[in-house]
Amino acid sequence: MAGIADSAEWDALSAHYESIAETDLRDLFAADPDRGSTFVAEAGDLYLDYSKHRLNRDTITLLAAVARRAGVESLRDAMFEGERINVTEDRSVLHVALRAPRGTELIVDGVDVVAEVHEVLDRMAAFANRVRHGEWTGHTGRTIEAIVNIGIGGSDLGPRMATTALAAFADRSMTYRFVSNVDGSDFLEATRDLDPATTLFIVASKTFTTLETMTNAHSARAWSLAGLGDESAVAKHFVAVSTNAEAVAAFGIDPANMFGFWDWVGGRYSFDSAIGLSLMLAIGPDHFDDMLAGFHLMDEHFRTAPVESNLPMLMGLIGVWYGNCFGAETLAVLPYSQYLAHLPAYLQQLDMESNGKSVTREGAPVGMSTGPIVWGQAGTNGQHAYYQLIHQGTKLIPTDFIGVARAAEPIGDHQDLLVANLLAQPEALAFGKTAAEVAAEGIAPEQAPHRVFAGNHPSSTILMPELTPSTLGQLIALYEHKVFTQGAIWNINSFDQWGVELGKQLAQRIVPELESAADPAHDSSTNALIRRYRELRAR
């Protein structure tokens, strides 16, 4: 299949790029005073302002034509219908089924997957309610006070991000911890102040073979047994979330305490499946349902809205515009909400593991730049760290600002100060400060070049009324489908992750070499590092 770059639609976009590339955001706003209220789109509770981008109406028309030519809509429909669009693993991609309302139907290979999803959700809810109401007790009869999720990647980042995001909705009488790193200090610090008699571990792993998770799970079992002294304690203090029932049973977890999901849920698309059990324990089943409804609302928007007003498609296309026409390499995601502190890390996996690909779905070189480097942290902290580079550095860094209007628990004037900063940064980035403006402030001429802000730095601003389970679901689905849109345009498979395998295999080979005294058999650098490690460890 010819790539999108070989199409007439791409040629038209490239020609348009040549004509608009030098146009400044100041010019665009001067030419169209209504721009700030017309280059906007809404879906559910999310308002997207994309006016501060280097584009005009023609750009959107041309980008939409590219999307149609690339078959974004047909691939989207294929996903929603359960077709096996994850071609390298021969799997359906059905995270949208995880939030399909009860009673709807989606038959895949003769099975109604929506009914299966709700069966697991019901089991999760029953379990969560028992724990939350003190009916599920530990081995010694005491109620559960701490939940520790053990998982990594998609089995960690989603529930970790969402449990922080929705802390205002959580049962504050319980403690929630997340252990992911194989570095033993992660486990030690997470459990240091916990009591085995009141701690429940959730071992979350799609495969139940991941080195980090299994190592931590075994340490957790040893920690529990050291405190409780009896193998039978495992049944009361460990539950599993996995697609691998055999491995769960082999670990010693009662299959009755396993919550399943399916191979058509990718790890990075899974926190609204049973992988979100820790989140459900924190916020309760009703709030979890509200979150699923938020996801579904955005799914429906993505499925039905025309490209030109489809939020995920617009964001995906704007990313393509910068990545493939302007040559931007990164995307900064800057949420102005401390509750969203883990969102950038979550989006790193979602975007970079999905679209960090260099061959097409057919295995040919993709021939164009693909997924961006995603980075960021909660505002306003970044302003006092790296924003300098965005404002006055030499790189083009498109930015997503995310803001929440109402604080969960307002105190003083914090929220207005936070939002003032959220609004000020995109304005400063877009419009900067000219030499004339600097001179008018009476700045000495030799200082002036340092005080000029070139401006013309593009950004989107996403605003929501408040951070709730529903708006979080909408936001995450927005990014999921943005990533989908871009993968479809580049014709890459956004749903596999073969690139993480080589490092895992090499680590397995190195483990015994660290223990042995024999000569390691790698390149000279790795061999020398292995020898140095042996030496340092022995000192």
Does residue 213 belong to the site contacting ligand F6P (CB under 6 A)? Answer: yes
Q: Is 342 among the residues known to form the active site?
A: no
CA distance 236 to 250: 16
* 8 Å CB contact between 390 and 332: yes
Does residue 355 belong to the site contacting ligand F6P (CB under 6 A)? Answer: no
Please enumerate in sequence order all residues whose Cβ is within 8 A of that of 231, keeping only pairs 6 or more positions apart, or say none. 225, 252
Residue 378 tokens, joined: 């909660």
Tell me the sheet residues that pair with 203.
150, 240
Catalytic residue among 353, 391, 457, 482: 353
The piece of 202-210, 279-287, 307-315, 444-452 that touches ligand F6P (CB under 6 A) is: 202-210
CA distance 159 to 202: 11
Taking each helix axis from N to C terminus, what angle separates 72-80 and 285-304, rounded to the nearest 10 degrees? 140
Q: Which of 53, 54, 206, 481 binds ligand F6P (CB under 6 A)?
A: 206
Q: Centre a 10 Å sphere on the Cβ of residue 285 and count the other Cβ atoms it contains.
A: 18
| 3-class secondary structure, 62 | helix
Catalytic residue among 218, 395, 414, 504: 504
- Which DSSP string do the residues of 137-178 spell out, in sequence order? B-TTSPBP-EEEEE--GGGTHHHHHHHHHTGGGS-TTSEEEE
Does residue 357 belong to the site contacting ligand F6P (CB under 6 A)? Answer: no
Range 334-353, binding ligand F6P (CB under 6 A) = 353
Q: Is 353 among the residues known to form the active site?
A: yes
Measured from the CB atom, is 207 or 526 closer to ligand F6P? 207
Does residue 155 belong to the site contacting ligand F6P (CB under 6 A)? Answer: yes
CA distance 307 to 70: 12
CA distance 496 to 368: 19
Q: Centre a 10 Å sphere on the Cβ of residue 202 and count the other Cβ atoms it contains.
A: 24
The piece of 18-26, 141-149, 205-213, 429-437 that touches ligand F6P (CB under 6 A) is: 205-213
Range 469-498, binding ligand F6P (CB under 6 A) = 497
DSSP letter assigned to residue 153: G
Q: Could you tell me how many helices (H) and strands (E) the chain has, helices first?
A: 23, 13
The piece of 207-215, 216-224, 373-381, 463-471 that touches ligand F6P (CB under 6 A) is: 207-215
- Which residue shows structure tokens 């691998």? 244
Measured from the CB atom, is 159 or 432 closer to ligand F6P? 159
Residue with the CB atom nearest ligand F6P in the bound state: 267
Min separation Cβ 212 and ligand F6P, Å: 8
Range 225-244, binding ligand F6P (CB under 6 A) = none
Measured from the CB atom, is 56 or 213 closer to ligand F6P? 213
E-strand spans in 195-284? 199-204, 238-242, 258-260
The piece of 190-198, 199-207, 228-236, 294-302 that touches ligand F6P (CB under 6 A) is: 199-207
Does residue 398 belong to the site contacting ligand F6P (CB under 6 A)? Answer: no
Helix (H) or strand (E) holding 190: helix 184-191
Q: Which of 52, 236, 268, 482 binds ligand F6P (CB under 6 A)?
A: 268
Helix (H) or strand (E) holding 50: none
Catalytic residue among 22, 135, 384, 535: 384
* Interaction pattern, residues 115-154, with ligand F6P; x per rule: CB under 6 A: -------------------------------------xxx
Size of the site for ligand F6P (CB under 6 A): 14
Q: Which residues are catalytic?
A: 353, 384, 504
For binding to ligand F6P (CB under 6 A), which residues are involved?
A: 152-155, 205-207, 210, 213, 267-268, 353, 497, 500
